[in-house]
Chain A
Amino acid sequence: MEGSIEVLKGGLALMGYGLAAVGPGIGIGIVVGNAITAMARQPEMAGTVRTTMFLGIAFTEALALIGFVLFFIA
């Protein structure tokens, strides 16, 4: 009985992490896609766009990382 609850907890934590990764996955896709559009339209701004893109990715990624931490805590 103890063991099966442990396994269940692990499975639920894994599902939680999977769900937490969905939003940031879509978000990073949008960030990078728009950054590529911007770079293609104005190649001379590529450096600035790239820095801002990394910042956007870093902020979007935060939610997935919190999910990753909760997966280890659970």
Chain B
Amino acid sequence: MVEQMILASECDVANEVICAPADVKELFELPTIFYIGDIAITRTIILIFLAAFIVIALLYFGLRKGSVIPSKFQAVVESLVQFVRKDVAEDIIGPEGVRYAPYLTAMFLFLLVGNLFEITPLINFPITSRMAIPAFLAIVTWLIFVIVGFYKNGFSYFLDIVWPKSVPIGLRWLVGLIELFSVFLLRPLTLAVRLFANLVAGHLMLTLLLGSGAIFIWNFADAGAKSLVGVAWFAFGLGIYLFEIVVAVLQAYIFTLLSAVYIQSSVHPEH
């Protein structure tokens, strides 16, 4: 198990204090497993489909019967769906929020599963630490709030952003410029990067600490007394592991919450 890790082949146990890969990309760009035509199928792609499959199965089997007295499994799935619908969609967007609840629910569950892959034993790779997934979801959210904004308010949606009436006339152009930049560029960028950066940082910390720990302890014949360092790294890594459970759930929640807030700002632009 330990010999198969990417870190293990490069780590010089006798001279290093912590095992670090030569290039960070090695931890995130996983090798191709097989090809379908010209499309290279990596472990990441399989995990993406696995996450989608888990979400679909969860919702299908959880809500299939819809009995009045729910089973334990149905109660859990219902509370998840109800959480997004009530506490996110309706509380933030308002009564119209129910229309966006399916999108928010699907996104929340997919991100939750994808983030929790980070700490799932034997998977240990958060699919959201590849920029494609956060970027795609952020672009979808961006499209929804821009289209809804123009659809509900016409061109005055854009005009209210670049020429805000509530600001003194001398400053309007400056505030408008900042708002234009922040609404149409920074919103999707920060939305995607927030999730991506948190998961990259988490995966890096877990891999370096737990990986180094395991390698040092495994190779105690070469490392000698230094394998005690490995025990310290491993203990530290386990602490970070607990912290990452919180981060994984929180980041999925924050992504969904911010999407709802952005949609809300298009549905009711004046406040």
Q: A residues bordering B, Cβ < 8 Å?
A: 51, 54-55, 57-58, 61-62, 65-66, 68-69
Instruction: Report the bound CA distance from A61 to B201 in whole Å.
Output: 14
22 A-B residue pairings within 8 Å (CB atoms): A51-B87, A51-B91, A51-B92, A51-B257, A54-B250, A54-B253, A55-B257, A55-B261, A57-B254, A58-B254, A58-B257, A61-B194, A62-B186, A62-B190, A62-B194, A65-B190, A65-B193, A65-B197, A66-B193, A68-B197, A69-B193, A69-B197
Instruction: Report the bound CA distance from A69 to B253 in whole Å.
Output: 22
The main secondary structure of chain B at its interface with chain A is: helix
Identity of the chain B residue whose Cβ is nearest the Cβ of A61 in the assembled complex = B194
Which residues of B214-269 have CB atoms within 8 Å of chain A's CB atoms?
A: 250, 253-254, 257-258, 261
- Give the number of chain B interface residues (Cβ < 8 Å): 14
Instruction: Report the bound CA distance from A69 to B190 in whole Å.
Output: 10
Chain B CB within 10 A, most for which of A55, A65, A66: A65
Identity of the chain A residue whose Cβ is nearest the Cβ of B91 in the assembled complex = A51
Contact of B193 among A54, A57, A68 (CB under 8 A): A68
Instruction: Report the bound CA distance from A44 to B44 in whole Å.
Output: 44
- How many A-B Cβ pairs are below 8 Å? 30
Instruction: Report the bound CA distance from A31 to B82 in whole Å.
Output: 28
Instruction: Report the bound CA distance from A69 to B134 in whole Å.
Output: 14
> How far apart are A33's CB and chain B's nearest CB, in angstroms?
19
Name 11 extra pairs, CB < 8 A, besides A62-B186, A66-B193: A54-B250, A55-B257, A55-B258, A57-B254, A58-B194, A58-B254, A65-B190, A66-B190, A68-B193, A68-B197, A69-B197
Which residues of B44-99 have CB atoms within 8 Å of chain A's CB atoms?
A: 87, 91-92
> How far apart are B104's CB and chain A's nearest CB, in angstroms?
14
Chain B residues within an 8 Å CB radius of A61: 194
Identity of the chain A residue whose Cβ is nearest the Cβ of B194 in the assembled complex = A65
Chain A residues within an 8 Å CB radius of B91: 51
> How far apart are A74's CB and chain B's nearest CB, in angstroms?
14
> How far apart are B92's CB and chain A's nearest CB, in angstroms?
8
Chain B residues within an 8 Å CB radius of A68: 193, 197
Chain B residues within an 8 Å CB radius of A69: 193, 197
Q: Which 3 A-B pairs have the closest CB atoms?
A: A62-B190, A65-B193, A68-B197
Chain A residues within an 8 Å CB radius of B193: 65-66, 68-69
Instruction: Report the bound CA distance from A66 to B92 in whole Å.
Output: 26
Which residues of B166-217 have CB atoms within 8 Å of chain A's CB atoms?
A: 186, 190, 193-194, 197
> How far apart are B186's CB and chain A's nearest CB, in angstroms?
7
